Amino acid sequence: MKTEIESKNLLSRYGIATTRPTLATSPAMAASAVRDLGKPCALKVVSSDIVHKVDAGGVRLSVDADYAADAYQSIMDACRKSHPKAAIDGVLIEEMVPPGLEVFIGAQLDRDYGVVVLIGQGGSGVEQRAKPKAALAPLDRDLALAMIDAAFPGTFAADAAGREVLARYLLAVGGPDGLMMREPIDELDINPVIVSGGTAIAVDAVAGDVADAKLATPRSDAQIAEALTRRRARLGGLSAIFDPKAIAFVGASTSKDKLGYQLIQTLVDFGFTGTIYPVHPTAPEIYGLKAYPSVAAIPGEVDRAYVAVGNKLVPEVLAQCRDKGVKVAQVLTAGFSEYSSDSSDLEQQMLDQLATGSMRMIGPNCIGTFSSSTRMAIGAPRYNPTEPGGITFYSQSGTYAGDVVRRAQVWGLPVARALSCGNCADLDMLDLLLFAESDPNTTIVAFYIESMRDPGLFFRAARNMTKPVVILRGGMTEQGQVAASSHTAALATDRVLWDAGLSQSGVIQVGSMDDLMDTLLGLHVHGRSKGNNLALFGSGGGVSVTSSDVAAQAGLRIPRLQDATAEGLRRFGIPGTSVANPIDIPVWGLRDGDRYIFEEIINRLKVDGNIDRIVVFVEMGWVLDFIENDIEGLKALEAICASIARARPDGAPMSLALRSSGDKYQDDFVREQRIKLMKQGISVYPTTSRAVRAQSRLVKG
CA dist 203 → 60, 174, 196 (Å): 14, 19, 13
Q: What pLDDT was estimated at residue 180?
A: 95
pLDDT given for residue 484 in this prediction: 45
**What is the pLDDT confidence band of residue 540, given thresholds at 50, 70 and 90?**
confident
The predicted pLDDT at position 215 comes to 58
Q: What does the buried/exposed string (b/e) look like for 209-225 if buried means 16 or more CB atoms within 10 Å of the residue's CB?
A: eeeeebeebbbbeeebe
Asked if 454 and 428 count as a contact pair (C-beta separation under 8 A), the reply is yes
pLDDT score at 212: 58
pLDDT at 479 > cutoff 70: no
Q: In degrees to the nearest 10, what's the CA dihedral of 86, 90, 95, 96?
A: 30
Instruction: Give the phi and the psi of residue 181 in degrees, each rounded to 5.
Output: -90, -20
Indicate if the pLDDT at residue 662 is higher than 50: yes
Whether the Cβ atoms of residue 503 and residue 582 lie closer than 8 Å to each other: no
CA–CA separation, 569 and 371 (whole Å): 49
Identify the pLDDT of residue 476.
Answer: 56
Range 362-379 average pLDDT: 95
Residue 497 pLDDT > 80, yes or no?
A: yes
Rounded CA separation 564/605 (Å) = 10
Domain 367-420+428-525 falls under CATH 3.30.390.10: no
**pLDDT computed for residue 85 by the predictor:** 94
Question: Could you tell me which CATH number the domain at 20-95 has?
Answer: 3.30.1490.20
At 314 the pLDDT is: 95
Report the CATH superfamily, name and number, of domain 101-219.
ATP-grasp fold, B domain (3.30.470.20)
- How far apart, in whole angstroms, are the C-alpha atoms of residue 455 and residue 634? 49
Higher-confidence position of 572 and 654: 654
Q: What percentage of the chain has pLDDT greater than the value 70?
A: 96
Handedness of CA 511, 448, 458, 522 (dihedral sign): negative
Model confidence band, residue 162 (pLDDT cutoffs 50, 70, 90): very high
pLDDT, position 231? 95
- Whether 477 shows a pLDDT value over 60: the answer reads no
CB count within 10 Å of CB 30 equals 31
**pLDDT band, very low/low/confident/very high, at 691 (cuts 50, 70, 90):** very high
pLDDT tens digits along 33-83: 999 999 999 999 999 888 888 889 999 999 999 999 999 999 999 999 999
> How far is the C-alpha of 605 from the C-alpha of 568, rounded, in Å?
10
Please return the burial class of 126, using the count of CB atoms within 10 Å of its CB with bins 0-12, 13-18 and 19+. buried
pLDDT of residue 33: 96
For residue range 199-245, what is the model confidence (pLDDT) as tens digits?
999 999 999 887 655 556 788 889 999 999 999 999 999 999 999 99
Q: If you average pLDDT over every residue of the chain, what do you get?
A: 92
- Name the residue among 316, 321, 310 with its Cα closest to residue 361: 321
Task: Calculate the alpha carbon distances from 520 to 152, 404, 470, 514, 694 in Å.
Answer: 34, 10, 8, 10, 9
With a cut of 80, say whether residue 659 has pLDDT above it: yes
Instruction: Answer yes or no: same fold for 235-366 and 528-697.
Output: yes
pLDDT exceeds cutoff 90 at 130: no
Answer yes or no: is pLDDT of 466 > 70. Answer: yes
The yes-or-no verdict on residue 487 having pLDDT over 80 is no
CATH number of 528-697: 3.40.50.261
- pLDDT value at residue 125: 75
pLDDT confidence of residue 373 = 96
Q: How confident is the model at residue 483 (pLDDT cuts 50, 70, 90)?
A: very low
The pLDDT of residue 214 = 57
Query: Is pLDDT above 80 for 88?
Result: yes
pLDDT over threshold 70, residue 31: yes
The upper half-sphere exposure of residue 528, i.e. CA atoms within 13 Å in the direction of its Cβ, equals 17
Q: How far is CA 191 from the centre of its chain?
A: 29
Ramachandran region, residue 287 (left: φ > 0; alpha: ψ -120 to 50; beta: rest): left
| pTM summary value | 0.91
27-37 vs 65-82: helix crossing angle, rounded to 10: 140
Phi-psi region of 23 (alpha: psi -120 to 50; beta: other; left: phi over 0): beta
| Confidence category of residue 346, pLDDT binned at 50, 70, 90 | confident
CA neighbor of 46 nearest in space, from 96, 104, 87, 94: 87
pLDDT of residue 340: 59
What's 433-493 look like in SS3? Answer: HHHHHHCCCCCEEEEEECCCCCHHHHHHHHHCCCCCEEEEECCCCCCCCCCCCCHHHHHCC
> What's the average model confidence in pLDDT over 424-447?
96
Architecture of domain 235-366: 3-Layer(aba) Sandwich (3.40)
Q: Structural domain boundaries of the chain?
A: 20-95, 101-219, 235-366, 367-420+428-525, 528-697
Q: Is the pLDDT assigned to residue 341 strictly greater than 90?
A: no
